[in-house]
Amino acid sequence: MGLFDIFKRKEETIKADRLVVEDEDAEATAEEAEAVEEEDFEDFAKEAPEDRAENGPFDRGEIEAEGAYLDLGALRIPMREGLALRLEFEDKTQRVIAVGLDYEGSTMQVQAFASPRSSGLWRDVRTKLAAQVKKQGGRAEEKVAEVGTMLRTSVPIVQGSDKLRVVQFLGVDGPRWFLRGVVSGQATSDEAKLEQMIEIFRGVIVDRGDRPVPPRDLLALTVPEAMANQMAASAAQQRAQRTAMAAKQREQQAGQ
């Protein structure tokens, strides 16, 4: 499976405690964004591995993104053999809202959000996620790993069913950003595969950018030129196939 083999359109925006603003049409000015950053958010300490600056996830100013990285704007993804990447789009705005990474039977969705200068988001986010999961009849428990505190959740696939969907949330507070990973698949039951996904997660570089962004807003992702060209070529091919099919149907109808 190649790097650009999978493209998935997300039907509904995935949020972690409303980390994406509801009103997509309202854009804050630079002054408003800075003012929001100074509002009284609950003051939780930033949570990150002690060696984050050395071993990731990295801030753009801490490492040169040289070699096998894919530049997606706010995120630079470390590429490796066997890793397939897809972009997830929001239907309403057609903006890219997440990066999906598939590797050896496991999947991880990655998103980066703006955060306050002096406090973190991860403790608050996972607490509210756990409450939401329990409200749905599921279970949530915290566990400590190399990347810090993780949240393991399990929710019935159908209400009242014994079959559970297991998802593990990773979170790291960086300098003015919060990076979230949502892991599913084999890594939720296989520690060795979970370590592989954590390794990929820790290799991510976050580019917060210089533009003021209100805390908890999604940092902008962009489509690389190679991927955009492939998407355009695929769309053109699909249009040509539909045109040919329509012409064939007209011929068949004319011959009847």
Q: What is the pLDDT of residues 34-70, one digit of tens each?
A: 444 444 456 789 999 999 999 999 999 888 766 688 9
Mean pLDDT of 141-164: 88
Residue 169 pairs in a beta bridge with 151, 182
Q: 66-103, pLDDT tens digit by residue? A: 668 899 999 999 999 999 999 998 888 778 899 999 99
What stretches of the chain adopt beta strand conformation (E)? 8-10, 58-59, 69-71, 75-78, 84-90, 96-103, 106-114, 139-145, 148-156, 164-174, 177-185, 205-206
Mean pLDDT of 160-186: 92
Q: Please classify residue 102 by burial: count the beta carbons closer than 10 Å to its beta carbon, then call 0-12 exposed, 13-18 middle and 19+ buried.
A: middle
Q: Where are the domains of the chain?
A: 8-21+28-223, 225-256
The pTM assigned to this predicted structure is 0.76
Mean pLDDT of 117-125: 92
Average model confidence (pLDDT) across the chain:
80
Distance CA 189, CA 205 (A): 27
Q: 14-40, pLDDT tens digit by residue? A: 444 543 333 333 344 444 444 444 444
């490796």: which residue's tokens?
Answer: 80
Domain 8-21+28-223 in CATH 2.60.120.1690? The answer is: yes
pLDDT, position 159: 72
116 preceded by a cis bond (ω within 30 of 0): no
Distance CA 200, CA 254 (A): 57
φ, ψ at 17 (rounded to 5°): 55, 55
Q: Please classify residue 163 by burial: count the beta carbons closer than 10 Å to its beta carbon, then call 0-12 exposed, 13-18 middle and 19+ buried.
A: exposed
Instruction: Say if residues 181 and 169 touch (Cβ distance below 8 Å).
Output: yes
